[in-house]
Chains A and B, each alone.
Chain A
């Protein structure tokens, strides 16, 4: 069964006709033109599809598209404001906190959300906040350091 939904993605209004079985992730990717969120598992275990839905950090693969009707969704494509990279994105580049990059959209979203609710997290707090995001390339070391650096640069500009 198909259903029409309207929602805001990265501040822009969007509309789509979605299958009621379709996930928010598939709707974002194939109906709404946002390929940034990735599907690594499809059941909430890897975090590559992490987006912010009405202020909450969620796995887009665990939300039905019809549940997001009327919602505000932020994906990795909406993180850089007016083409300027967010400090989290800059820090990931500077620290080499990515290799293949497939998990990176999810990590950027989790890290940004962490720093918004806790601007100066400790190392264990960072590790806990990203423990729902799997990375198989980096061993997490440089990701943790990138988030520490982003925390510092955000507090300097605040």
Chain B
């Protein structure tokens, strides 16, 4: 592989100075002249028919400029779709209902109307004056109850899709999709096992917890075109949805990406932007819509909970002979939970000759879930990795050796059918063997060590880059991909090495939808991976154009032009040379014009990412509180373009997973969220955590110029089981439900409580 001088170094984040000085501009930081403030009116019922909405009192309040309901949004045929990424489409008629409910509310906090007023106080008062007449309906909140034939129906006209046959059930159902993947003969596999363990695991709804509440602003320009500013994970994705939802051509809609204060999957859909635009159209004034933290927690779309049963058998020497799993994912009020991803992520670390993997996408009267970092993966890995630990224990095999014996390898087939290209799971597991976090004895009472694996398929889809050479031989990169956490920096590093120029001489801009090349949304650990191909291609395009111009000047053929360190020369006479500076200067003075390189990719092979976490914990036997003594993350990153940023991604993802494992959960009462604040929905704070150690494995991915793999998703996957397995070794009790908060541990270690109440589990493995 080529030598790089910028790739592989921890270049400081190129957009850090504006962030540490408070100058970076996020969605809520827009303050437009004449701007109105919008406020949403939300349902106080989790399930109710909307009988009538009276907006007259709200409209009469001085300062109120518009009040809208779903009738003010363009109508949409049922089942209307828009492309989300690649070939994946989303049901825009469902998105329209989430934007504003038309005839029925299906979760507490669903939007039913919106107001625009001259200041936020008037807007809030007006929202309280919108009179909505509801007919409350029975609420179904629990995923297993929702699957029962007599459960209240979230959608009266929804019939279960059987994925294999593409047939719909005769009776309406809260199960939107049922899927089954099979391989080999599980009965024979279980018959060949020396031990079989079966358990059911439960996780709760959680929130992505991005610090910035959703914010956008819309303005109708004098020519009728709409400008929209938004903090979203993909402004082109938002535009695509708005084209369908509002019936506007893309040419009439400019979407400007603002800095985004975290997304983690939760800011992919256009759930607020349509309202801001319609209010701006109604009032002919700019309208800003910023939601409150309470609204964020209640109704923007959390991460999916699941109830997962896993059964696996193994021989005495530690070989898995069969595995079955049933994963029931709660989608909330509209179809689309990440259950298929759950099946994939949970099983991907293992060679499975005999397997049945079954999934249900289930509807309840809860907010429609959105993606959350490695969507679907965390509940699945909690279940599978905790069960693997129990199975290894049952047959008396070391948990690391058990994983090594059954680890998937290149050429194996993933549970949903795709063959694995090059992966680094085996190499990564070998690193654990000798690492002090695994070899150092953990002494002392109430202490235990746990291991768990994680996986993420990595994203592909469309990314594009333009690289321009400025007249002074510096370079400008132009992209349409939103920078969530550091991709401006990694893309700049790639172009710096490709062009062999100083990163200080490069600037990078994330452009709006009118000016930047198209890009799919930022998510799924796809940006640095796909941009490595696009930026490489754009840089090579630049060099090719420059070499052509150099060849003309040097009077040799293009093949005979060499390039290094800003100088082009004739290979047969290195004294015959021309500088990049000269070519750059001439490009705009005479000759062939400015140099603009373009690169694009729409589909790359998956760059599979595997991780393993090792956790040491101590349990307070009086309170059940977990203290994490040491936490180490192993991950195959392919190639770390920027090691500091890679570590930061891993640490941040691991801590989100730790929060999910130990603290975080939505607490509902008849469909109403009872802990809708950051005090009661407790994300980890600095005091809860140790330093998070990271160990990078670099087994190059099969595709891409540098062999890198996306790194952001997978670190959230292993913590649930790593901590559950550690807690088991500390207490002798296995937990089957997240979060493993002090109360659950207190009662589980005393043999009662709600530990695994959904399943048939015993009170523990002690």
C-alpha gap A134/B211 in the complex (Å): 8
- When A41-B677, A104-B19, A127-B686 are in contact, do A139 and B293 touch as well, CB less than 8 Å? no
C-alpha gap A119/B253 in the complex (Å): 52
Cβ of B486 within 8 Å of any chain A Cβ, yes or no, is yes
CB distance from A56 to the nearest CB of B (A): 19
Contact A136 B687, beta carbon cutoff 8 Å: no
C-alpha gap A99/B652 in the complex (Å): 9
C-alpha gap A126/B689 in the complex (Å): 12
- List B contacts of A30 (CB < 8 A): 31
Nearest chain B residue, comparing its CB with the CB of A90: B20
Cβ of B1 within 8 Å of any chain A Cβ, yes or no, is no
- When A38-B212, A103-B211 are in contact, do A98 and B22 touch as well, CB less than 8 Å? no
Nearest chain A residue, comparing its CB with the CB of B483: A100
Which residues from 1 to 43 on chain B have a C-beta closer than 8 Å to any C-beta of chain A?
Answer: 10, 12-13, 15-26, 28-29, 31
- List A contacts of B668 (CB < 8 A): none
Contact B19 A98, beta carbon cutoff 8 Å: yes
Cβ of B569 within 8 Å of any chain A Cβ, yes or no, is no
- List A contacts of B22 (CB < 8 A): 34-37, 75-77, 104-105, 108
- When A41-B293, A85-B20, A85-B21 are in contact, do A96 and B13 touch as well, CB less than 8 Å? yes
Contact B648 A93, beta carbon cutoff 8 Å: no
Contact of A96 among B10, B653, B654, B679 (CB under 8 A): B10
Contact A99 B687, beta carbon cutoff 8 Å: no
Contact B656 A136, beta carbon cutoff 8 Å: yes
Contact of A43 among B120, B261, B677, B691 (CB under 8 A): B677
Cβ of B264 within 8 Å of any chain A Cβ, yes or no, is yes
Contact of A38 among B17, B261, B645, B677 (CB under 8 A): B261
Contact B262 A136, beta carbon cutoff 8 Å: yes
C-alpha gap A26/B29 in the complex (Å): 11
Contact B686 A126, beta carbon cutoff 8 Å: yes
Chain A CB count within 10 A is highest, among B653, B679, B687, for: B687
C-alpha gap A38/B259 in the complex (Å): 13
- List A contacts of B119 (CB < 8 A): 19
Contact of B210 among A21, A26, A98, A136 (CB under 8 A): A136
Cβ of B188 within 8 Å of any chain A Cβ, yes or no, is no
Cβ of A143 within 8 Å of any chain B Cβ, yes or no, is yes
Chain A CB count within 10 A is highest, among B259, B262, B692, for: B262
- When A38-B211, A41-B293 are in contact, do A137 and B21 touch as well, CB less than 8 Å? no
State the A residues within 8 Å of B (CB). Answer: 19, 21, 26, 29-30, 34-43, 45-46, 48, 75-77, 79-80, 85, 89, 92-96, 98-105, 108, 124, 126-128, 130-145
Nearest chain B residue, comparing its CB with the CB of A30: B31
Nearest chain B residue, comparing its CB with the CB of A91: B20
C-alpha gap A137/B208 in the complex (Å): 10
Which residues from 112 to 128 on chain B have a C-beta closer than 8 Å to any C-beta of chain A?
Answer: 119-121
Contact B645 A136, beta carbon cutoff 8 Å: no
Contact of A102 among B18, B26, B120, B290 (CB under 8 A): B26
Chain B CB count within 10 A is highest, among A94, A104, A133, for: A104
Cβ of B683 within 8 Å of any chain A Cβ, yes or no, is yes
Contact of B12 among A29, A80, A96, A145 (CB under 8 A): A96
- When A127-B686, A134-B678, A144-B686 are in contact, do A102 and B20 touch as well, CB less than 8 Å? no
Contact of A101 among B19, B654, B687 (CB under 8 A): B19
- List B contacts of A132 (CB < 8 A): 685
C-alpha gap A123/B652 in the complex (Å): 19
Cβ of B367 within 8 Å of any chain A Cβ, yes or no, is no
C-alpha gap A129/B19 in the complex (Å): 21
Contact B687 A128, beta carbon cutoff 8 Å: yes
Nearest chain B residue, comparing its CB with the CB of A45: B678
Contact of A131 among B31, B290, B685 (CB under 8 A): B685
State the B residues within 8 Å of A (CB). Answer: 10, 12-13, 15-26, 28-29, 31, 119-121, 208-213, 259-262, 264, 290, 292-293, 484-486, 644-645, 647-649, 651-656, 677-679, 683-687, 689, 691-692
Besides the contacts A36-B22, A40-B211, A101-B16, what 6 more A-B pairs have beta carbons closer than 8 Å?
A: A35-B22, A48-B211, A94-B12, A102-B210, A126-B686, A139-B648
- List A contacts of B678 (CB < 8 A): 40-41, 43, 45-46, 134
Nearest chain B residue, comparing its CB with the CB of A31: B31
- List A contacts of B212 (CB < 8 A): 38, 40, 100, 102
Contact A136 B486, beta carbon cutoff 8 Å: no
Chain B CB count within 10 A is highest, among A79, A92, A99, A131, for: A99
Contact B686 A89, beta carbon cutoff 8 Å: no
- When A45-B677, A48-B211 are in contact, do A89 and B21 touch as well, CB less than 8 Å? yes
- List A contacts of B652 (CB < 8 A): 99, 136-139
Contact A89 B210, beta carbon cutoff 8 Å: no
Nearest chain B residue, comparing its CB with the CB of A88: B20
C-alpha gap A71/B11 in the complex (Å): 40
C-alpha gap A103/B212 in the complex (Å): 8
Nearest chain A residue, comparing its CB with the CB of B29: A35
Contact B686 A100, beta carbon cutoff 8 Å: no
- List A contacts of B685 (CB < 8 A): 130-134, 140
C-alpha gap A109/B339 in the complex (Å): 42
- List B contacts of A34 (CB < 8 A): 22
- List A contacts of B293 (CB < 8 A): 40-43, 45-46
Contact B10 A101, beta carbon cutoff 8 Å: no
Nearest chain B residue, comparing its CB with the CB of A126: B686
C-alpha gap A40/B121 in the complex (Å): 19
- When A85-B20, A94-B12 are in contact, do A141 and B261 touch as well, CB less than 8 Å? no
- When A35-B22, A77-B22, A144-B691 are in contact, do A95 and B644 touch as well, CB less than 8 Å? yes
Contact of B16 among A21, A38, A92 (CB under 8 A): A92
Nearest chain B residue, comparing its CB with the CB of A145: B691
CB distance from B234 to the nearest CB of A (A): 15
- List B contacts of A76 (CB < 8 A): 20-22
CB distance from B284 to the nearest CB of A (A): 22
- List B contacts of A36 (CB < 8 A): 21-23
CB distance from B132 to the nearest CB of A (A): 25
CB distance from B78 to the nearest CB of A (A): 36
- List B contacts of A134 (CB < 8 A): 209, 211, 678, 683, 685
- When A93-B12, A136-B652 are in contact, do A127 and B687 touch as well, CB less than 8 Å? yes
CB distance from A25 to the nearest CB of B (A): 11
C-alpha gap A80/B262 in the complex (Å): 25
Contact of A142 among B25, B121, B648 (CB under 8 A): B648
Contact of B25 among A35, A105, A130, A143 (CB under 8 A): A35
Contact of B121 among A19, A79, A93 (CB under 8 A): A19
- When A100-B484, A104-B20 are in contact, do A40 and B686 touch as well, CB less than 8 Å? no
C-alpha gap A105/B261 in the complex (Å): 12
> Can you show 30 pairs from A to B with CB atoms below 8 A apart?
A19-B121, A26-B120, A35-B25, A36-B21, A36-B22, A41-B677, A45-B677, A79-B21, A93-B16, A93-B17, A95-B644, A99-B262, A99-B486, A99-B649, A99-B652, A100-B210, A100-B212, A100-B484, A101-B18, A101-B24, A104-B22, A105-B22, A108-B22, A128-B687, A130-B686, A136-B211, A136-B683, A139-B656, A140-B651, A143-B686
Nearest chain B residue, comparing its CB with the CB of A78: B22
Contact B691 A135, beta carbon cutoff 8 Å: no
C-alpha gap A151/B22 in the complex (Å): 21
Nearest chain B residue, comparing its CB with the CB of A128: B687
Chain B CB count within 10 A is highest, among A100, A108, A131, A143, for: A100
C-alpha gap A143/B264 in the complex (Å): 20
- List B contacts of A99 (CB < 8 A): 262, 484-486, 648-649, 652
- List A contacts of B655 (CB < 8 A): 138-140
C-alpha gap A104/B22 in the complex (Å): 8
- List B contacts of A145 (CB < 8 A): 691
CB distance from B616 to the nearest CB of A (A): 16
Contact A139 B689, beta carbon cutoff 8 Å: yes
- When A94-B12, A131-B686, A136-B211 are in contact, do A100 and B262 touch as well, CB less than 8 Å? yes
